[in-house]
Amino acid sequence: MKILVLGGAGMVGQKLAQSIANGGLGDISIDELILHDIVEARSIKSDFKTRSLVGDIANNGEAIKLAELKADMIFHLAAIVSGEAETNFEKGWNTNARGSWQFLEALKQVHEATEGQYRPRLVFTSSIAVFGGPYPDKIGDEFLSAPQSSYGAQKAITELLVSDYSRKGFIDGISIRLPTVVVRPGKANLAASSFFSGIIREPLNGKEALLPVGTDVRHWHVSPRTAIGFLTHAANLDTSLLQGRLAINMPGISCTVAEQIEALRNIAGEDAVRLIKREPDDLVMRLVSGWPRDFDPQRALAMGFAADKSFEDIIRIYIEDDLDRSGQ
């Protein structure tokens, strides 16, 4: 099997690649792993062939080059993150929506050129940003998708494209709506949600962290390790179980910023907590105010997706997996 990871140089893409290199994908025999991104991905050691490709999925011609690789399994992680998609309207739509559509169209062309023989499994990483308020206490699997940000709209549109191209038989797709992934290693990115990681990561590295929102803000989280588990589980899932509803809410941990800070205090002590400094940011507060807070993801749980046990466990996973390699 040939595997293609779009967004393969990003944090999730690199962790996914390393997970595949270390343990494969269940009983699937892997021949080649290809990582594609706008920058070269870090090399991955494995028992099978790996390579990195550099290009922009939003550019004309890039999508057909990727489709012609005829990867059997595709993980679509490539995206402009939430904060940048909101402030750079054209870039967000070009990459997150037009880029995805171009790629699906290219897969369709290869499917038709092979007389239907080529039909790859595609796992698309969507987001809880596809939802907008007002919210119930917990968002169930029947709650409507009504995004209130450009990023959320772009993700929702790609979900619909994945569903329709799957319905027509061009691909075998599934969209998993990830919670916010924390604690992310390395430096903060342009995602509006990056502070959720920053207020844990920076103090654990002995650095000051800025908190742009109030401590009463509640949000839905998952560790990078568990997010990778979602992706690999989705890769092997029988999509007929989804009964045509190919976008599925992933389980997570719902907690307030105050509860995050308390978890940090329990693990790292008061000195770490003192490094968190409040610095209100109107744009971030506006975006966060429209985000989901809690879910009841019964479909995902019934299909074998499992969440982290607590936010303290999420912090411990960062310490175990990334603290010494965070690059700070």
> Which residues have a catalytic role annotated?
151
- Angstrom CA distances, 315 to 216, 309, 319, stand at 19, 11, 6
Collapsing DSSP states into helix, strand and coil, what is residue 178?
Answer: strand
DSSP category for residue 133: S
C-beta contacts of 111-119 below 8 A and 24+ residues apart: 111/169, 111/170, 111/171, 116/169, 118/70, 119/169, 119/170, 119/171, 119/172
Collapsing DSSP states into helix, strand and coil, what is residue 98?
Answer: helix
DSSP alpha helix (H) spans, the chain: 11-23, 62-67, 82-87, 89-92, 100-113, 150-167, 194-204, 224-236, 257-268, 270-273, 282-289, 298-302, 311-321
Q: Please provide the size of the chain in residues.
A: 328
Of 91, 76, 95, which is closest to residue 166 (Cα–Cα)?
76
Are 42 and 14 in contact, with CB atoms under 8 Å apart?
yes
Two tokens at 90?
Answer: 């054209």
Measured CA to CA, the distance from residue 65 to residue 42 in angstroms comes to 21
Other C-beta atoms within 10 Å of 287: how many? 23
Measured CA to CA, the distance from residue 202 to residue 43 in angstroms comes to 27
Name the CA radius of gyration of the chain, rounded: 19
